[in-house]
Amino acid sequence: MLDLIATRRAGGKHSADDLAWLALGAARGEIPDYQLAAWLMAECLRPLDLDETAWLTQGMAASGRRLDRTGLPHPWLDKHSTGGVGDKTTLVVLPILAACGLTVVKMSGRGLGITGGTIDKLESVPGFRVNLTPEEMLAQAARVGIAEAAQSEELAPADKALYALRDATGTVDSIPLIVSSILSKKIASGAEVVVLDVKCGSGAFMKSEASALELARRLVETARRCGLKAGALVTDMRQPLGRTVGNALEVREAISALKSPDEGRFCRLCVLLAAHALLMGEVAATQEEAEARAREALAGGGALAKAKAWFEAQGADAAVFERDDALPTAPIRRTLTHEGAPAFVEALDAGIIGEAAVELGAGRASKDDAIDPAVGFEFHAEIGRRLVSGDPVATVHAASEADAGQALGVVRQALSLGNRPVTESPLVLTTL
List residues with catalytic annotation: 80, 159, 166, 181, 185
> Are the CB atoms for 266 and 242 separated by under 8 Å?
yes
Count the neighbouring beta carbons within 10 Å of the beta carbon of residue 321. Answer: 16
To the nearest 10°, report the CA torsion of 419, 404, 82, 211.
Answer: 40
Alpha carbon distance 384, 106 (integer Å): 35
> Are the CB atoms for 179 and 211 separated by under 8 Å?
no
> Strand 76-81 to strand 193-200: parallel, antiparallel, or no bridges (unpaired)?
parallel
Paired strand residues for 417: 345
Alpha carbon distance 148, 416 (integer Å): 38
Alpha carbon distance 154, 249 (integer Å): 32
> Are the CB atoms for 140 and 313 separated by under 8 Å?
yes
Run of H or E residues at 351:
helix 350-360
Per residue in 27-38, is it b (16+ CB within 10 Å) or e — as a string?
beeebeeebbbb
Omega of the bond prior to 240 within 30 degrees of 0, cis?
no
Task: Name 148's Cβ contacts closer than 8 Å, sequence gap at least 6.
Answer: 90, 94, 104, 105, 106, 107, 108, 118, 122, 130, 310, 314
On the CB side of 298, CA atoms within 13 Å amount to 30
DSSP E strands: which ranges in 47-203?
A: 76-81, 103-108, 146-150, 193-200
Count the neighbouring beta carbons within 10 Å of the beta carbon of residue 326. Answer: 18
Q: How far apart are the first and last CA of the chain?
A: 37
Closest to 96 (Cα-Cα) out of 151, 145, 44: 145
On the CB side of 105, CA atoms within 13 Å amount to 32
> Strand 103-108 to strand 376-379: parallel, antiparallel, or no bridges (unpaired)?
unpaired
Alpha carbon distance 109, 117 (integer Å): 6
